[in-house]
A and B are shown apart, each in its own frame.
Chain A
Amino acid sequence: MSTVAKTIRFITGYWRVNWQGAMEFRASFWTQMITMLINNGVWIAFWGIFFNRFPVVKGWEFTDVLLLWGITAGAFGWLHILFGNVGRVAYLIANGQIDSYLTMPKNILLHMLISRMSFSAWGDVLFAWLLFFIAIPFRIDHLLIYIMAQMLGGVLMGAVILAGQSLAFWIGNSEGLSFQIANAMITFTTYPIDIFQGFTRLLLFTLLPAGFISIMPIALFRGLHLSFLVMLISVTILFAASSVFIFYRGLRRYESGNMITLKM
């Protein structure tokens, strides 16, 4: 069997086991999923009230924000379903829990990321699809763009979160700071990009690339801007490669926690 086929089998095997694990705790799974739907729904209620008062803000309408929330929730959702440990890397580093991945003959980062699934993230994915059917008329091109936007958004978001989490290799217990970096990324992706000007806008298209996600409803759905798409793909690849590089550079500094655990 080729290495690629083995890796795919390894990944799908883990996802299957994670899903079986979720189904072992069905009540908890459903509770977390539904509460996430409610959580996201509150934000839509806020935007509903806001746009009821200001129907158009810098060219943005309510449906644009619905799309924005759909893309962000979908991106966050699939990222945390398939790579559920992405937001816990700092915790694993600080508590010496990477040891068990180091001893196994698999890609350390990949293995670590896929070995957990977030239950509540299923609520985000469901929410994203509900919004898709509410926000815009169903068309195949809309569907394809929506899926692509969620996928690219998820990779970009994951790259920033992973880079922030990897700070723990250098500054030890960075959970709070890493969490806030992830929080900032998610927060900025859920607001219309055009409310930010000057330095903040520059920041959102460079160091904290939330702007590439929050501009999607305008740049992808109001006529597909190919130049933007090329830039989006390039930036996503650049950030993904950089975060993997940062993680492995940091891993050289990792000191074992001498933790003896049994992984079943």
Chain B
Amino acid sequence: MMWKKGAKYGAVFRISLSQQFAYFYDFLIRTLFLILILFVFSRLWITAYTSGGTALIEGYTLEKMMWYLMVTESIYMAFPALVDRIEKDVKNGEIAYFLNRPISYIGFQYGQYLSEAVFRVAINLCVGSVLIYFMAGGIPIPNLLGFIPLVFLALTLQYVTVMAVCLSSFWVEDIRGFHLVYSRLLMIIGGMMVPLEIFPEWLQHIARILPFQSIIYLPASFFVGAHTEPLATMLIEQGLWLVFFTLILLGIYRLGVKRLNVNGG
């Protein structure tokens, strides 16, 4: 029974994944932006390390820093844009069509989201690795058996939190403001732009108790071998946040659907 349930969401994943190959132009444009950002960041950090005459900052060599930023950017830029899609579904009542279908709205969206995110993160990591190899050299050999589950949980946690923000459009007219604030917190406190170790002490403490670092910092620091906690602890941390936000998401969805009014047919 559980297998059958999983199979239909697997089918959504597969169909959506095959669609990714059809939008080559969009993919190319997005990749150009990744290259641009990585290039600019690389120049900034190369200048900082060389002009400061420092070889090591909080355990990060220049190469390590560049590879860290490559992973954070690759993950961050792989997140599909859920806001427009979900807000539209809630506002025009499309979400109501799912109530009598044998597939959950949240599960359906997750299948689609995951296929897009996995496809993008794989491409981003490949393109980013080539660029950083030529700019900084020194490929880290990550433990893929640890890195892949960390990225998978990070993408899933991102989905659950963003979906909770998006579904607040049951009550709030314009959710873009909330989403922007969330994504900016992810950028700064999540460790996308600099590793948490570089933060001032007080900010580091705050960042480490918030969920944002589980999405960006943990996979990236593991990739470059800069993590201080064992893999199991990191996975448990991500898992606990995932359970917490999934409960919030389901609560919001149930309350929202209760107050759904659909006019017309």
Contacts and interface: CB of A to CB of B under 8 A. Distances in A.
| A pairs with B | yes
Interface of A: 27-28, 31-32, 34-35, 38-39, 42, 45-46, 49-50, 52-54, 56-58, 176-177, 179-180, 183-184, 187-188, 191, 194-196, 200
B241 to A, nearest CB: 22
25 contacts: A34-B177, A39-B180, A42-B184, A42-B188, A45-B188, A46-B188, A46-B194, A49-B198, A49-B200, A50-B44, A50-B48, A53-B57, A54-B52, A56-B51, A57-B47, A57-B48, A57-B52, A58-B51, A183-B33, A184-B36, A187-B36, A187-B40, A191-B40, A195-B44, A200-B39
Contact of B180 (A35, A46, A53, A57): A35
Contacts of B37: 187
Interface stretch (B24-32, B101-109, B120-128, B142-150): B24-32
Contacts of B36: 180, 183-184, 187
A184 B198 CA distance: 27
Interface string B172-196: 0110110011001101100001100
- Interface residue tally on B, bucketed by range: 20 to 34
B43 interface: yes
B199 interface: yes
Nearest to A53: B198
B199 A49 contact: yes
Contacts of B194: 46, 49-50
Given A32-B177, A50-B44, 15 more contacts: A34-B177, A35-B181, A42-B184, A42-B185, A42-B187, A46-B193, A49-B203, A52-B200, A53-B57, A54-B48, A56-B51, A57-B51, A176-B29, A179-B29, A187-B40
A180 B57 contact: no
Contacts of B173: 27
A73 to B, nearest CB: 15
A42 B203 CA distance: 14
A53 B237 CA distance: 29
A176 B52 CA distance: 38
Chain B interface helix/strand/loop/mixed: helix
B193 to A, nearest CB: 5
A52 B46 CA distance: 17
Nearest to B181: A38
Chain A interface helix/strand/loop/mixed: helix
A247 B26 CA distance: 25
Interface of B: 25-26, 29, 32-33, 36-37, 39-40, 43-44, 46-48, 51-52, 57, 173-174, 176-177, 180-181, 184-185, 187-188, 193-194, 198-200, 203
A185 to B, nearest CB: 11
Contacts of B185: 42
B140 to A, nearest CB: 22
Contact of B32 (A56, A58, A180): A180
A179 B33 CA distance: 10
Given A45-B188, A46-B193, A49-B198, A58 B47 contact: yes
Contacts of B174: 27-28, 31
Contacts of A39: 180, 184
A24 to B, nearest CB: 14
Contacts of A187: 36-37, 40
A38 B179 CA distance: 12
B222 to A, nearest CB: 22
Nearest to A56: B51
Nearest to A196: B43
Closest 7 pairs (CB-CB, A-B): A176-B29, A42-B184, A195-B47, A35-B177, A195-B43, A31-B177, A35-B180
Contacts of A184: 36
A41 B187 CA distance: 12
A54 B199 CA distance: 12
A53 B177 CA distance: 31
B179 to A, nearest CB: 9
Contacts of A180: 29, 32-33, 36
Nearest to A184: B36
